Structure 1
Amino acid sequence: MTSSRFEAEVVSTDYMLRLAASDLGRSYKSMVRGQLGLRPGSRVLDVGCGPGADLPDYAELVGPSGAVVGVDHDDTAVEAARKRTLHLPQVQVHIGDGHRLNEADESFDAAHTDRVLQHVFDPAEVLAEVARVLRPGGAAAFAEPDWETLVVDHPEPRLSTAYTRYVTEFQVRNARIGRQLAGFANDAGLAVRTIIPITTVFDDAGAADKVLGLHRVTRRAIEHEVMTPDEGQRWLDHLSGAQTFFAAVSLFVVCAVKPSTTVGSRTRTKS
């Protein structure tokens, strides 16, 4: 991220693979694959593929006659994805920028992003690029959280509010992307078919920390003076020691198609 207001979010490849392997990850990723309608011979693009957590599943669905292309801006992630898919000749992974994809117009049957648009400089531009490379009738699925839905139970509610405010105002560039996805997709000329809300509930502080980074983010909130050191310590002490833990956040999956005719620069459905 280039703006000084937002911290550079370095997401480890191990974390991304753990999340994909979790009950939550397996559940919504399976649903996304179903929405994309992949079959033998399909060509699918994964923008912001990270370490390639989804690429083997896509490869299995499209088979040896299909093609799976993963794109990511991070060298380490691309290398990890390549190693993960060495045994899959139908998979190609390369470094690229979602704002300016190198892929040809109308060259894919399906496209996918997962928790990527929350971090990019211009989500609308990325979705416009996705629409460009989709063939008419091609499917797209975008999965993003809306971080203002994050709630954490605490006896001092203002600390919970401060934590969420830090995440939305400093930690994540496009923190409200979940609610904006459908509008961006429509503006890109895609026809939204389905919007699926998925609310994840955590009842274990340790599990929540692995996904939400409670300790790491709290330290950053203190550094940015959103919490005082004493408030941050009280917040963490309670979360670690509470007999009952509760936190929740919502993810939104927007599924869309590229209509079969175009008028001007926008894609339109036949009348």
Structure 2
Amino acid sequence: MSTTLGASRPDQASYMLRAAASDAGRHYKQRLIDLLDLGPGHTALDVGCGPGSDLSALAERVGEGGTVIGVDRDPAMLARARERTAGLSQVEVREGDVHALPVDPGSVDRAKIDRVLMHVARPAEALAQVHLATRPGALVGLVEPDWDTLVVDAEDRETSRLFTRYTADEVVRHATVGRSLARMAHEAGFRVETVAATTPVFLDFEDADHTLGLGRTMRRAIDAGRVDPDRGRRWFATLADGPFFASFTLVTVVCSR
């Protein structure tokens, strides 16, 4: 296996599909869909649907009489989502921005935003758009990580702490939005129904390097002067040598309109 720092970032669509197919990904996504209580005839909105990893599961719940709307602004993601749902007549994939959703006000029964708010420019505005799109009685599911809780086991614990701090400070735009989801949902006008936290665990070094960006993020931290080069390289190399462990907190909030 390679322990080279700074490996190129994987194709984003493939990255998202691989993460969704992992044990941790399947577990929290299934729980989220169950909590949304989707039923036949519902109109469901997937905000920031990416390559469409969840659209078919939503379509199965709403049935042929329902509608699933996937929204994304990335042409490559839209193409993959349309390809994956080509045989599902109830699925519509629309180009649009989370800050100006291309849906009619008060037209949505169920909505989800899954690991999107940490990347957008204005998370509160995105939630306001979802509030506008949903009708009274609708349920909305939100899932976001808290990257400030990322832990990577290593004998050099200080470098692990520096890695987490750099990830939270510089790599992810809104790295701690997970802990703020319930408050933000309330401020957007929703009634918070469920708040839950899970801890995805990574025991395989290569999977963690792919999902968490261990090598490429450490390279950035070194280049930025946040970690000593020799110490950072040693830290990364030792992660592959023995039993591996990393985890972070993933927060799920379900709220009603």
Matching of residue 56 in structure 1 with residue 56 in structure 2: yes
2:22 paired residue number: 22
Identify the residue that residue 262 of structure 1 maps to in structure 2. Answer: none
Deviation at 1:152, TM superposition (A): 0.9
> 1:31 & 1:62 partners in 2: Cα distance?
16
The letter of the residue matching 1:141 is G
- Give TM-score, length-normalised by structure 1: 0.89
TM-superposed deviation, 1:10:
8.0
Q: Quote how far apart the aligned CAs of 1:26 are.
A: 1.1
SS at match of 1:206: helix
1:127-162 per-residue CA deviation (whole Å, 9 max, x = no partner) reads 111111111000000000000110111111110111
Could you tell me whether the CA contact under 8 Å between 2:94 and 2:102 is conserved in 1?
no
C-alpha distance after superposition, 1:188-244 (max 9, x if no partner): 000010111010122221221121111121111112221122122111111111x22
Identity of aligned residues (%): 47
CA distance in 2, matches of 1:55, 1:253: 19
Deviations 1:91-147 (A, max 9, x none): 011111101112111100000011100001111110111111111000000000000
**TM-superposed deviation, 1:251:** 0.3
1:13 corresponds in structure 2 to: 13
Correspondences of 1:47-126 after superposition (within 5 Å): 47-126=47-126
For the residues of structure 2 that align with 1:200 and 1:233, how far apart are their CA atoms? 25
1:263 counterpart residue number: none
Matched, 1:34 2:27: no
| 1:143 matched residue in structure 2 | 143
Q: Check the 8 A contact 2:192/2:254 in 1, yes or no.
A: yes
The match for 2:255 is: 256
RMSD: 1.2
- How many Å separate the matches in 2 of 1:17 and 1:43? 24
What does the per-residue CA deviation read over 1:50-76, in whole Å, with 9 as the maximum and x for residues that have no partner? 000000011111111100000011110
In structure 2, C-alpha distance between the alignment counterparts of 1:183 and 1:257, rounded to whole Å: 14
Change (3 A) 1:172 1:101: same
Residue 227 in 1 paired to residue 227 in 2?
A: yes
| TM-score with structure 2 setting the length | 0.94
Residue 247 of structure 1: aligned partner? 246
Rate the CA distance shift 1:10–1:173 in 2: closer, same or farther, 3 A.
Answer: farther
In structure 2, what residue type is equivalent to 1:153? D
Aligned letter for 2:204? D
1:10/1:254 CA distance change after superposition, 3 Å: farther
- Unmatched 5+ residue regions in structure 2? 1-8
The answer to whether the 8 Å contact 2:198/2:250 transfers is yes
Post-superposition offset of 1:11: 6.1
The structural deviation recorded for 1:36 is 1.0
Match of 1:191 in 2: 191
Tell whether 2:38 aligns with 1:44: no
SS of the residue aligned with 1:164? helix
For residue 41 of structure 1, give the secondary structure of its aligned residue in structure 2. coil
CA distance, structure 1, for counterparts of residue 56 and residue 95 of structure 2 = 18
> Which residue number corresponds to residue 6 of structure 2?
none
Q: Which residue of 2 aligns with 1:179?
A: 179
- Counterpart contact for 2:24–2:201, Cα < 8 Å: no
For 2:93 and 2:78, the matched residues in 1 are separated by 6
> Take 2:11 and 2:153, find their aligned partners in 1: how far apart are those partners?
25
